[in-house]
Amino acid sequence: FTSFLHLPGTTEEVAPPLQQCFIIPKKEINMVSDMAKWKRSQAYADYMGFILTLNEGVKGKKLTCEYKVSEPIEKLVALLNTLDRWIDETPPVDQPSRFGNKAFRTWYAKLDQEAEKLVATVIPKHLAAAAPEVAVYLKESVGNSTRIDYGTGHEAAFAAFLCCLCKIGVLRVDDQMAIVFKVFNRYLEVMRKLQKTYRMEPAGSQGVWGLDDFQFLPFIWGSSQLIDHPNLEPRHFVDEKVVNENHKDFMFLECILFITEMKTGPFAEHSNQLWNISAVPSWSKVNQGLIRMYKAECLEKFPVIQHFKFGSLLPIQPVTS
């Protein structure tokens, strides 16, 4: 499944031939019966392939380890820094309801307006035609401005955004670790700030049965990072001391830290699923279980996937190969 990370013609010197006719992605999953179309689609195969490729790429690696940082990676981080700065420039407003601060809509309107320009800063000139298509996934990745909520469907849109950048050859195979550790990690920081600042509602929350209210992928990739760790076992992540000492190295523990900052009461009560996972004997078992759970709880749930958009890079057409 790394095939789409090795696109023909994406060597440095040669501009890839644009056989591609870019289109604005749109919704295709309108009723529950359409879900079968999604599971057979090229988009699903490429999306899942991308998630699993990155899962392998970060296996046993710390966030703080050495890895290559290419120019597109730097530009993506700069893009996320801009979104972060806009949060500072758009403080929450006084309003009667505690959740869903309406200032989020102001912040979002700015992204809506600027998204194509932002994406164009990451994409080389000869691929400029791709910017409108790719920008749609960026806009979808930060939450819903009507409901002022955020959930795993939005997170999936960000992964789709990165997947599209791989498909057009902006990101390459040797960017794998930086995609997760630098770009996705920065994305998480900005999303956590959005969630805190504007008190966003969890979208389609599973309540106590979800992993956490907002994210899923950092638990998958974060558990892969911990595979074969000499002394950190799954049972350790419910230990506050272990989390405090190791969270800067492992995405999984960063997630746990954020949950304990945001929630009160016993861990087993507010995060029952994670509590159960802490009883699994090995990180590779945790990792496999989370991948299965992600497919079942996120990618195969109509309320999540109905919002997913399909274009030329992530097509609804059935898998060809």
CATH number at residue 290: 1.20.120.1150
Q: What is the DSSP string of 133-188?
A: HHHHHHHHTT-BTTTTEE-HHHHHHHHHHHHHHHHTTSS-GGGHHHIIIIIIHHHH
- What pLDDT was estimated at residue 8? 42
Q: Which of 175, 201, 227 is the C-terminal boundary of a domain?
A: 201
What is the extent of the structural domain holding 133?
43-201
Residue 89 and residue 118 in one domain:
yes
- What pLDDT was estimated at residue 203? 87
- What pLDDT was estimated at residue 9? 41
Q: How many domains does the chain have?
A: 2
Residue 105 and residue 253 in one domain:
no
Max CA distance (Å), the chain:
57
Instruction: Give the count of beta carbons closer than 10 Å to the beta carbon of residue 36.
Output: 10
- What pLDDT was estimated at residue 206? 61
Q: What pairing do the DSSP bridges indicate for beta strands 149-150 and 201-202?
A: parallel
Q: Which of 201, 223, 257 is the C-terminal boundary of a domain?
A: 201
Residue 155 and residue 56 in one domain:
yes
Task: Tell me, yes or no, whether 305 lies in a domain.
Answer: no
Task: Tell me, yes or no, whether 28 lies in a domain.
Answer: no
Task: Tell me, yes or no, whether 27 lies in a domain.
Answer: no
Residue 152 and residue 270 in one domain:
no
- What pLDDT was estimated at residue 50? 97
Instruction: Give residues with Cβ within 8 angstroms of 148, minimum separation 6.
Output: 99, 100, 101, 102, 104, 105, 198, 200, 201
Task: Tell me, yes or no, whether 13 lies in a domain.
Answer: no
- What pLDDT was estimated at residue 90? 98
Structure tokens at 51: 């998630």
Helix/strand/coil for 206: coil
CB 283 within 8 A of CB 229: yes
Which residues of the chain carry a pLDDT beneath 50?
1-4, 6-15, 17
Q: What is the DSSP string of 238-266?
A: G-HHHHHHHTTT-HHHHHHHHHHHH--S-
Cα(42)–Cα(321) distance, rounded to whole angstroms?
Answer: 9
Q: Convert the pLDDT of each residue in 101-127 to its tens digit.
A: 999 999 999 999 999 999 999 999 999
Residue 142 and residue 288 in one domain:
no
Q: Tell me the whole-structure pTM to 2 decimals.
A: 0.93
Helix/strand/coil for 226: coil
Cα(111)–Cα(122) distance, rounded to whole angstroms?
Answer: 15
